[in-house]
Amino acid sequence: MNLPIEMDQEFWDRRYAEHPRIWSGNPNPHLVTAASPLTPGRALDVGCGEGADALWLARRGWRVTGVDLSEVALARARGQAGLEDPEVAARIDWVHADLTAERPTPRSFDLVSAQFLQLPDPARSALFTGLAAAVAPGGTLLIVGHHPSDLNTHVRRPPLPGLFYTAEELAHLVDGSWEVIASEARPRPVPDPATDAAGHSVLVHDTVFQATRRRASA
C-alpha cells in the first residue's frame, strides 16, 4: 500500500533534515500515563521519530522496537540512544520500515504504541489493524491522535480533515477478547499560538484509544 506522496519517506526525511530537532525530546504524556503501571516487556513504538518514547520505555526496562519511515529520524534517535547508559541503549532496536506495507508479527508485543500517526484511510485502517494484531495476550494497544475538533481551533493543524479520527472510529480494531481501557477525546492545554504572552493556553483534544487483549481462559 502506497502512502500519500505528502507523507512518504522523502517528505519525512526532508522535514527532519530541515531542523536540528522537531519534537520536544519528552515522551508523549498519554504513553507515560498508560505505560507507567505496566510490567515491562516487549514494546513496539510505531513512528518513533527522534526516539523520546522508545528511550523512556527502555529506561523503565522495556525491550523496544522503534520503527520509523524516515532514515533521518532513525539516525537522530540512534544518536540520542548513544548518550544513554549502554544497558538502556541495548534494549532498543531501531528499524526502518513502512508498517502500512509490512505488518509486524502477530501477537508478539506486550505494548504497541502509535502516537499521532495522522494518516488517511485506507492506509490508517490497514496500519491500525496490523498493530492490533501485533498485541500479545495480556498486552496493551495504545493509539493517540489529533481529534477532528482541533480543526475548529486556531492551533496549527494540517487542513486535511481526512487525517483526523475519533476513538469511536477505532472500535472495530477490537472484539470481545479485548478490554477497552480508554476510548475518548482527552483534553490537553497547549500554548495559544494567537498570543506571545506567557501563560496563555488553548484547549485541544487528543483521541485516546487504549485496550488490553485478554489472556485465554485456562
Does residue 78 lie in a domain region? yes
pLDDT at 36: 98
Does residue 66 lie in a domain region? yes
CATH value at residue 106: 3.40.50.150
Q: Which domain holds residue 175?
A: 5-13+43-213
* Gap between the Cα atoms of 178 and 140, Å rounded: 9
Does residue 175 lie in a domain region? yes
Q: Per residue in 130-184, pLDDT tens?
A: 999 999 999 999 999 999 998 888 888 877 889 999 999 999 999 999 999 999 9
Does residue 198 lie in a domain region? yes
Q: How many domains are there within the chain?
A: 1
Residue whose grid cell is 475518548: 184
Provide the 3-class DSSP secondary structure of residue 56. helix
Per-residue burial over 29-55, b = 16 or more CB atoms within 10 Å of its CB, e = otherwise: ebbeebbeebebebbbbbbbbbbbbbb
Does residue 101 lie in a domain region? yes
- In this structure, is the dihedral angle defined by the CA atoms of residues 32, 33, 38 and 41, taken in order, positive or negative? negative
Q: Per residue in 78-115, pLDDT tens?
A: 999 999 999 999 999 999 998 888 899 999 999 999 99
Q: Per residue in 33-64, pLDDT tens?
A: 999 999 999 999 999 999 999 999 999 999 99
For residue 15, the one-letter residue type is R
Does residue 36 lie in a domain region? no
Does residue 27 lie in a domain region? no
* Neighbouring residues of 144: CB distance < 8 A, sequence distance ≥ 6: 28, 30, 31, 114, 115, 116, 206, 207, 208, 209
Does residue 24 lie in a domain region? no
Q: Quote the pTM value.
A: 0.90
Please say if the pLDDT value at position 200 is more than 70: yes
